[in-house]
Amino acid sequence: MTRLTILEYPDPRLRTRARPVAAVDDELRRFIDDLFETMYAAKGIGLAATQVDVHKRVLVTDVSEEHDRPLVFVNPEIVAKESVGTMQEGCLSVPGYYEDVDRAQRIRVRALGRDGRPFEMDAEGLLAVCIQHEIDHLDGKLFVDYISELKRTRIRRKLEKEQRARADQAARPRQPAV
């Protein structure tokens, strides 16, 4: 398996709308494995293909503490929502920031599984929020789009500053060890 690079806000590639997957094949299953590897290494609970600059409608989640309930959604669509509530969200593409977001607390989602077979499932609480968050990524939307323009601008500026600092650090010649 391969750890993939997670794009960070405000990278414009995060705004790309993902295309539907035509077929679930071995190549896609390898990519799904890479998504899980990347998500677990980053200590996340969900990851959408868009976040790693692959614009296919694929997402993975595992909200269990033991990392023993991995779920795969290919071409996911929410077919029912109910009971809106507020939950604090973070995002691997917006590292270090958490904000309250209103989302449905119960959903029904339709998708293809890792095996390519269609399924529907009901989700609630954290899992429902996670699925909605990741589907937003597939639609080119981020959780910061749900907060005020002022907060979004502040987060964007701080992340841009951190990204420039990392780039400057990487560009500096390394001093030889003595």
Q: Enumerate the active-site residues.
A: 134
Dihedral in degrees, nearest 10, Cα atoms 30, 19, 94, 112 = -50
Residue with tokens 């990204």: 163
Cα angle value 108/104/57 (rounded, 5°): 55
CA 125 to chain centre: 17
CA–CA distance, 70 with 63 (Å, rounded to integer): 8
Nearest CA among 56, 45, 66 for reference residue 126: 45
CA 54 to chain centre: 12
**52 near 13, Cβ under 8 Å?**
no
Which residues are bridge partners to 110 per DSSP?
A: 77, 120
- Counts for the chain of helices (H) and strands (E), in that order: 3, 5
CA–CA distance, 99 with 89 (Å, rounded to integer): 6
